[in-house]
Amino acid sequence: MNIDFDQVTAPVPTPETEHFWSGCVAGELRLQQCDDCHGVYFPPRPFCPACGQQAVTVICASGKARLLSYVINHRPHPAFEGPYAIAVVELVEGVKMMSNILNVSQTPEALVLDMPLTVAFRPIRGGIVLPYFEPDGAAS
């Protein structure tokens, strides 16, 4: 899948999400962990979604995940040369994220559920870097 990163709509960081976006620039996938119940969560927010606690800590995720689900989109998109997978990945930390899968054929034969993945960061524009996932070659 070829991506025209100049065509990807750039997210706008907010005070609640700044740690996530600055982490992506630094090559770190940053999540939040509740100081009270210790739950790890995504997307970023100023309170724990499980218990409501506002005392949270930013942690660096391992970047390791597994392919939980996906759909292969064949419709044109200005940023993606199709077909491309719109995927749900589950990080080893337990949180789920939507992303795209890079560096693998966009076919059901290649996109095997539970396949090990690793995060891959790609800059777009305006200083924004997005997290994508690719097969984890080290998992063999």
CATH number of the domain that residue 90 is part of: 2.40.50
pLDDT at 19 over 50: yes
Question: Which residue, 65, 69, 67, is CA-closest to 118?
Answer: 65
**Same domain as 67, residue 45:** no
**Same domain as 131, residue 67:** yes
Q: What is the pLDDT, as a whole number, of residue 82? A: 81
CA dihedral 12, 16, 18, 21 (to 10 degrees): -70
What's the number of domains the chain is made of? 2
Residues contacting 66, CB < 8 A, separation 6+: 89, 90, 114, 115, 116, 117
Q: What pTM was computed for the model?
A: 0.88
**Same domain as 75, residue 44:** no
Residue-number span of the structural domain to which 102 is assigned: 62-140
Residue 6 phi, psi (nearest 5): -70, -15
pLDDT at 124 over 70: yes
**Same domain as 66, residue 135:** yes
**Same domain as 75, residue 56:** no
Sign of torsion over alpha carbons 52, 58, 59, 60: positive
**Same domain as 69, residue 47:** no
Instruction: Give the model's confidence band at 53: pLDDT under 50 very low, under 70 low, under 90 confident, else very high.
Output: very high
